[in-house]
Structure 1
């Protein structure tokens, strides 16, 4: 969090907030003094003309104060907007830096709550609470100094109460904070569970589990309510305590000075001034009290944001990136890899060389390590042992953008973003022409369907691509990868959701790419690998067999032959 330096980003505007707040405080004092002196003149039965200037001072102060309050609110809004832009920019940059590995142990909903609700909570801390602290320190100090010039005894008594109020509240805060700091954590947990329910509503309905999930959400909502009510009780009690101290201070001033006036030790005019200005001593403290809830909430919001910002990425940019290589041969050299937080090896002593322009298919049971090969090649993770190379260069020596610009990827679970079909395709190549979009879509076998849509390539895809079937989304992802025209194409189960006709079209496209780019494809369906130059069979993160598909199929008792037999028994080619 230290690297964020949020206060530095908004300190200029915060200074404006403090300046306007002090101006409002000064005008409150001027209004109080004007009313006190006007009342003193009227009480001693002076001509109204003597009271009139003081009344005009009070009226003018009230009018100017309204303008200063408006300007102060504008300044506070400026702090809030600049702070949110700064912090959200830092959070989004950190999430992008962390990459697919994310934050270990953090659910997506909790991260979303930190980036949205947490930022909203913290902006009030910087736009309201911190300026209120400085206004209280400077405003109360200046007013006590002014009162000391009028009546030192009154100033000393008020100083005791003015200093006592934050001291007592601090002790109260220390006692109550442990019981209330879980509000934001409970909010994050509830938000994460709710997001899971919304994303998986169809699954919950299909398995009749929506009632059980609803009960779980209700329990989490009850936990959130309990934590919120605990915070509210503590906050209200603190507010009552602050009000009691403020009123007690003014009552003490009145009691002390009433006796002094009766004994002739204090002029009535000084008494009125002391009473009117005593209220102004506690006004900045009241403002601080009202802003305190922002600070309280921010205390819980900092923790998840700090954890997010403190997380280190799974991979780091090299300090001195090497020039991008000319060639695109791929090599895995005795690679060992485990996913963060897992004790099991995804790949172990894994070595594989893929020639430039070669079409290599990776096959094996689920969990054999096929997707891990793609993840390491894209450098979403770094191996614990060994080296991954492209064009002879260690991936860890290449700039991430330069590496990924040379690789097009079709993931097993493809993602479409809110926007049009064309917008989703242009993620791969923002300046692509419409002709290029259509050519890529035809190669992926999806152009004809897009043309039938109401707005063609300008048709919105819906949330998560809801307007398209699983197979259509997969073909859109393939079109996006082909549009990139990268020299390396990585595919993870590219035909998993396709019907036989669409699968045949995609396989023809892949065979046409042979020799023009390096293709690395992970596949479950073995009929999709028949056009590959080489098949690599994985078991438990190791290569157990490799060769041409026909040669492996003819090898009795081989790993590939066993996979073919198992799929034939299941009724698949």
Structure 2
């Protein structure tokens, strides 16, 4: 585990600004520590040896203390602001990168684990920025300055500190290896807990129906116990390592104190110099001890940032940069010899698939489950890169065009459409934010959902609507767009015969090109042409 990951500096500008500010604050803190020790030693020696008044020294010492307090306050403010800015930057980058990777990649990730990473996981960066990195900068600046100043008064004491000081980083490295393993185990346990809990909550109605809720309660308890054990193991290691570092630093300071005391008694060292050395010696070890103490608090944040970089370093699929996409209202769309193979699967999802889609045509993709019907839609949208073959529009391959511009030609309704919190109108307007109420009503009527009020709330993930209503709202969201091609994955699943007839009528009346995955006879019968995926046979409707 690196103390400071260079990728963090490259990805987040706030981290670079924070590091520069921390260096300035660290140097200033080191100078004030030396000044405080010198003033304190001078004042005590003056009173003891000469009975001098300490008013001037006290004022100077007070000013130094106030300056140190102000630097500590500035460090805290800079650290908290930097942590907030870095977390915001990383969250935005991960979300943007995940969207570019597409739904196929997201389906291979645990959504609950990714959610945990972007929320609670990145929140663990707070102690990393607020505590660990400032102490790391102090550990790199203060000891060097303290030892150099001690050498001007007592070379032997400075040499003792210089020899014993590296022992603390050595112990920290050994402890860090163990901490890294514990942090990763704890993060894996938290991800498993989040994923399991989310699955149980999502399937709770079904579990209750079949009387399996109690069994899942026991499973959640077992996963929770694993997370608790991993957390307690990390805490035990943190306490033991803090004890080891404190003991080592105390013994080292004691060695310095014994040597200074003997030379003071023998008259080889002045009182002021001896006091200055004794005051500075603990300050040389303190930053390194604090680094070890805060290392454990920051380990979870560092582990979370490693997961973030794993996502950000996932290569994006190859794409073009052309923006002159042909208008698919008048341009045919062809798929030639398209073969798709998903990672971890031996058999291809599509094997040598050909399709010619003419403007204004309604085509139904049929075939048993698993033959690649949804994959055809994913290839057209650019979510999946074919292993072999090409998608062609207007004589140009689709991968030559910029993906965002290319996808504007399509409106897509997946098998499980997603709805967000808000009203029916809010969800329909996701397809066209500037749509009027009349346009939204027309889209709902076209989708066979004219009975739904615009202000009807849909709830979280559409839970206030039935499955059929959710699908019709998603279809209305597609119909309200200006996209010339509709890609529909079983658009009438869960609908009764009347609602299905209304949807079919709306699709036929629109005049747009429609490519739909279909199983129900009424939907297949409404198509101009039927293509059975998995064969090269075309069946006319």
**TM-score above 0.5, yes or no:** yes
CA contact (8 A) 2:147 2:162 kept: yes
CA contact (8 A) 1:22 1:139 kept: yes
Q: Give the aligned partner of residue 40 of structure 2.
A: 35
Equivalent residues in 2 for 1:8-87 (5 A)? 9-44=14-49, 46-47=51-52, 49=53, 51-87=54-90
CA shift for structure 1 position 484: 0.5
Q: For the residues of structure 2 that align with 1:369 and 1:175, how far apart are their CA atoms? A: 47
Q: Secondary structure at the match of 2:452?
A: helix
CA contact (8 A) 1:416 1:464 kept: yes
Q: Secondary structure at the match of 1:484?
A: coil
Q: Secondary structure at the match of 1:412?
A: coil
The TM-score, its normalising length taken from structure 1, stands at 0.87
> 2:353 is matched with which residue: 340, 347, 350?
350
CA shift for structure 1 position 72: 1.1
Query: Could you give the per-residue CA deviations for residues 435-489 of structure 1, whole angstroms, max 9, x where no partner exists?
Result: 32222122223243215xxxx2xx5421101121111111111110011021111
Q: Give the aligned partner of residue 160 of structure 1.
A: 163
> 1:95 is matched with which residue: 95, 98, 106?
98
Query: Could you give the per-residue CA deviations for residues 490-542 of structure 1, whole angstroms, max 9, x where no partner exists?
Result: 111111111222112111111212xx21111211111222222122234xx22
CA contact (8 A) 2:80 2:126 kept: no
Q: Secondary structure at the match of 1:448?
A: coil
Q: Give the aligned partner of residue 339 of structure 1.
A: 342
CA shift for structure 1 position 303: 4.1
How has the CA–CA distance of structure 1 residues 22 and 209 changed in structure 2, closer, same or farther, with 3 Å as cutoff?
Answer: farther
Query: Could you give the per-residue CA deviations for residues 412-440 of structure 1, whole angstroms, max 9, x where no partner exists?
Result: 21110123333322221222223322221
CA shift for structure 1 position 33: 3.0
Q: For the residues of structure 2 that align with 1:6 and 1:251, how far apart are their CA atoms? A: 44
Query: Could you give the per-residue CA deviations for residues 271-305 of structure 1, whole angstroms, max 9, x where no partner exists?
Result: 21111122222232233233212443245334433
Gaps of 5+ in 1: 549-573
Q: Give the aligned partner of residue 528 of structure 1.
A: 523
CA contact (8 A) 2:332 2:357 kept: yes
CA shift for structure 1 position 3: 6.6
Q: Secondary structure at the match of 1:156?
A: helix
1:469 aligns with 2:466: yes
Q: Secondary structure at the match of 1:396?
A: helix
Q: Secondary structure at the match of 1:542?
A: coil
Q: Give the aligned partner of residue 324 of structure 2.
A: 323
Q: Give the aligned partner of residue 427 of structure 1.
A: 430
1:501 aligns with 2:503: no
How has the CA–CA distance of structure 1 residues 7 and 243 changed in structure 2, closer, same or farther, with 3 Å as cutoff?
Answer: farther
How has the CA–CA distance of structure 1 residues 69 and 398 changed in structure 2, closer, same or farther, with 3 Å as cutoff?
Answer: same
CA contact (8 A) 1:360 1:521 kept: yes
> 1:542 is matched with which residue: 510, 531, 535?
535
> 2:224 is matched with which residue: 218, 221, 226?
221
Q: Give the aligned partner of residue 308 of structure 1.
A: 311
Q: For the residues of structure 2 that align with 1:353 and 1:91, how far apart are their CA atoms? A: 37
Query: Could you give the per-residue CA deviations for residues 253-282 of structure 1, whole angstroms, max 9, x where no partner exists?
Result: 221111111111112222211111222222
Q: For the residues of structure 2 that align with 1:2 and 1:72, how far apart are their CA atoms? A: 21
Q: For the residues of structure 2 that align with 1:335 and 1:492, how far apart are their CA atoms? A: 19
CA contact (8 A) 1:183 1:228 kept: yes
Q: Give the aligned partner of residue 444 of structure 1.
A: 447
How has the CA–CA distance of structure 1 residues 111 and 391 changed in structure 2, closer, same or farther, with 3 Å as cutoff?
Answer: same
Q: For the residues of structure 1 that align with 2:479 and 2:421, how far apart are their CA atoms? A: 21
Q: Give the aligned partner of residue 190 of structure 2.
A: 187
Q: Which moved more, 1:71-80 or 1:287-296?
A: 287-296
CA shift for structure 1 position 8: 5.1
CA shift for structure 1 position 544: 3.7
> 2:279 is matched with which residue: 276, 281, 286?
276
Q: Which moved more, 1:187-196 or 1:400-409?
A: 187-196
